[in-house]
Amino acid sequence: MLKNPSQEKYACNYLVYYETFEFPKQGIAREKELKKWRREKKNKLISDFNPKWETLNNEIF
């Protein structure tokens, strides 16, 4: 698995949520939107998508 700078800084090893987009600009815009959200709202988004917060690494890689 390739190392990502955010993995090293925040010790992120497990994927629990993802979205797909047709174009990179859409994904970047969504990231900027999510960064403005409070932690509680982000947690709800993840819980609605993945209620048990199971690792989804194998679904992507």
**Is there a domain that residue 31 lies in?**
yes
pTM check: above 0.85: no
1 pLDDT higher than 60:
no
**Planar angle of CA 43, 15, 47, nearest 5 degrees:** 25
pLDDT in tens, 10-51: 777 899 999 999 999 999 999 999 999 999 999 999 999 999
Q: Tell me if 6 is assigned to some domain.
A: no
Q: Is residue 32 part of a domain?
A: yes
| 53: containing domain | 13-60
Query: What is the C-alpha R_g of the chain?
Result: 12
- The answer to whether position 54 is within a domain reads yes
- Distance CA(15)–CA(57), nearest Å, equals 5
CA atoms within 13 A on the CB side of 54: 7
Question: Residue 60 half-sphere exposure, CB side, CA atoms within 13 Å?
Answer: 11
Structural domain count of the chain: 1
Q: Does 7 map to a domain?
A: no
- Please check whether residue 5 lies inside any domain of the structure: no
